[in-house]
Each structure stands twice: as C-alpha cells, then as structure tokens.
Amino acid sequence: MIDRILLFPYSLTLACRHALYNIGLFKSHKATVPTICVGNITVGGTGKTPHTEMILRMLLEDERWQDKNIAVLSRGYKRKSKGFQQVVVDGTAEDFGDEPLQIKRKFPQVTVAVDKSRKEGCMFLTNPELLQTSKKAARCLYKDMPKADIIVLDDAFQHRALKPDFSAVLIDYNRPVFKDHLMPIGRLRDLPSRLSAADALIVTKCPTYIDDGQRAAWAADLGLKEFDPQTCEGVRSNGKRQKIFFTYINYDTPQAVYPEGDTRYLYAKRLILFSGIANDAPLRHFLCGEYKIVKHFNFPDHHKFTRSDIYSIRNASDTYPTSVIMTTEKDCQRVRDCKFVPGSLKDRMFHIPIKVGFLGDEDRNIFKSMLASFLK
C-alpha cells in the first residue's frame, strides 16, 4: 500500500502522457520508410542490442531486403557527442556509445546512427541531404551516407513521438515485469499496461527448454488468455491478438579484444572476469561451466574504465599469471578506447560474442513471417 502511494505521482504522470498521445493532443509521426522498434519497459538488461542484431540478420538473409539500405538508430547512451551522428567502424564508444559501435563493427554494411530524438534521427536517415544544410546536424561528424530504406530502432518503445510499423517489447525471464514496480522502487520505467501496445512480446534470457504449460503461464501473467503454443498467440481482454515468443542466449567462441591476443590463454583453467553491464549473472553461470572464476570485477552498466580499473585488473593478472581475462562484447568496445592498457593484458584479454535464439525453429519462422507482414 505504501509503495502505491509513493509511486502514484510517477504513475499518474505516465498515464497522463500516454492518454494525451492516445487522444491525439500529443502527435505521433511515422517515418517515410518501414520502421521496427526493439524496446522494453524496464531499465536495461533485457537484451535489446542482441535482439536488434538478430533482426538485422533476418533482414540481411532475406532476399527482399538484401539490396536495400538498412539502418539502425539508437540513442547512444553515455556518448559525449551531441545531436545526430553517423557511427563509423573506427570510432570510439565515447563518440557514439558502446552498443551502436558494437552493431556497426559487426554489421559494417549497415548504416548506424545515434540521436536522442528518434523522430529527428529518422528524418535525417531518410533525407540524408538535410545533413548538409540543417542547423540540427551542424555537429554531425560524418555526413555522407545513403538514404535508408528500412530503420531498426534500438530502444524506442517509450518514444511515442515516433510511431513504428512494428514493435517488439522485451521482458527478462529472470525479472518478470509482473513482479516488479515502477522506479525508483523497482526497475519499471513505464506502465505494465503499455505491453498491450506492442505487436509482439519476447521473453528473453530463458532456459533452453520451456514446456507449453510454462509458456501458457507466462502468457497469462502478461495478460494473454487462450494462448496457443503452436501459433505463439494469445488474446487480450480487449480482444486484441498478440504473439509472445521466448528466446535464450547463445554464447559464441571467445574473440581477442586486441590483435595481439594469444588464443592459448583460452585453455587456461582460471579466469578473471570484468564486466560493466546491467546483469552479468547469465554470463557468470556460463563461464563457471568452463573455468574457475578467481576474480570478478563488477562495474556499473556502460562504465567508463579508468586507469585505476585497469591497474586493478593488471594486479589480479599478476596474482594469477596463467589465467585468461574475459569481458563482455559491450565492454570490449569501451576498453578498446583506453590508451593505458598494458601489453601484458592485451595478449590474454578476450570477449564473448552473444547471439539470441528462439526456443524452436518454428517460433523463429513465425516471428520472421510476422515481421515480413508488417514490412510489406
């Protein structure tokens, strides 16, 4: 009861904002090309970037989109640059943010851009000639880019000034939204009722197997009745049909952070882990199956590494001289910006790329078909 009283002002503010958009007093605009939104209603940790990459792979594998200019638009959290920026492969996380830089390095053929305003970002991606004349693009460092034919929005569900053609909302299996509270007491940044506005719900970071009964229970807790596991679809109380999918994390082969990385260290028995992500528990669980974690440095999400941080990692490596040093794919983008990483760490520092997979090929096919139907 006390929680509800404390959270009432924030809850009321969110409800009023959505109501003003719903009745048209606040305007939502559509881009001139198809847009796909990957978002959530919580603060970090649901896997938006890996799912954005999954959608990119689907688009790039589809012959209908192989000759099209695909773009990704993100906020570029904690970047120091301002306004609209086009991300380049040899840029820094400080300029563009770690996640957009990661996407660009993995998909160099895709245009990746950052802009706090998703509406303005889409405008520049679909009208790149405006970068030459608009005052809002005066600080843009790289203005030469192709016109986007389709835009994937990494984290834009709460940005209602832009109305996407397709929206997928992610929910962490280990942190169910129906057991959470609004900030600052909990991790919800939006009302749970907003889930009904999505075209698809994706429960992320699942075990590799969930039976139909568990899926139906999840669907019911998320407000979906009459769930059919064969079609991944349920019905909301207002009659809207909505699909719900379940995905898991697939850890790939570790890759060297630096060119001088020595793969022989991957055969070590001991491991030093450092990470600056919202929740590294799944990663630690995976690594414990292969290594003994002798030292774990847990930094805040999107942490900017300092000399002191690197020295602490170096001291741990001196204590365990035969250990391998492991970090996440996202942290890899930021640690590469550091000019003070000693050579003794560079040859033994690796990161683990991740991909997400659906719990079953049929679920993947249903999602892909659903995505294609919205992009016609």
Q: Is residue 323 a contact partner of residue 347, using CB atoms and an 8 Å limit? A: no
Calculated CA dihedral for residues 83, 84, 88, 92, nearest 10 degrees: 20
Q: What are 26's two structure tokens?
A: 């606040």
Identify whether residues 103 and 189 lie together within a single domain.
yes
Same domain, 369 and 330: no
Amino acid occupying residue 67: D
pLDDT for res 3: 63
Is the predicted pLDDT of residue 6 greater than 70, yes or no? no
pLDDT in tens, 168-211: 999 999 999 999 999 988 999 999 999 999 999 999 999 999 99
In this prediction, residue 2 has a pLDDT band, given cuts at 50, 70 and 90, of low
For residues 303 and 274, membership in a common domain is answered with: yes
Of the pLDDT bands very low, low, confident and very high (cuts 50, 70, 90), residue 55 is: very high
Same domain, 179 and 323: no
- Residues 333-354 have pLDDT tens digits of 999 999 999 999 999 999 999 9
Nearest of 199, 202, 193 to residue 247 by alpha carbon: 202
Same domain, 365 and 339: no
Kindly report the average pLDDT of the chain as a whole number: 95
Cα gap 136→84, rounded to integer Å: 8
Residues 363 and 347 placed together within one structural domain of the fold: no
Residue 286 and residue 228 share a domain: no
Mean pLDDT of 229-243: 96
Count of structural domains within the chain:
2
Cβ proximity of 104 and 183 under 8 Å? no
Same domain, 170 and 51: yes
State the CATH number of the domain containing residue 17. Answer: 3.40.50
**Separation between Cα atoms, residue 212 and residue 221, nearest integer Å:** 14
**Using an 8 Å Cβ cutoff, are 352 and 254 in contact?**
yes
What are the DSSP calls for 257-282, one per residue? SSTT--GGGGG-SEEEEEE-SS--HH
> Quick one: pLDDT band at residue 44, thresholds 50, 70, 90?
confident
Entry pTM:
0.95
- Whether residue 180 sits in one domain with residue 329: no
Looking at the fold, whether 38 and 175 belong to one and the same domain comes out as yes
Number of H helices, E strands in the chain: 11, 16
HSE-up of residue 81 (Cα within 13 Å, Cβ side): 25
Which amino acid, 256?
A
Query: Are 200 and 173 part of one and the same domain?
Result: yes
Question: Which CA distances in Å does 58 have to 109, 246, 365?
Answer: 14, 17, 10
pLDDT band at 365 (very low <50, low <70, confident <90, very high): very high
Same domain, 28 and 129: yes
Question: Range of 59's domain?
Answer: 2-248+359-374
280 vs 330: CA distance, rounded Å: 12
Residue 188 DSSP label: B
DSSP of 74-131, one letter per residue?
E--TT-S--S-EE--TT--HHHH-HHHHHHHHH-TTSEEEE-S-HHHHHHHHH-GGGG
Look at residue 4 and tell me whether its pLDDT is greater than 90: no
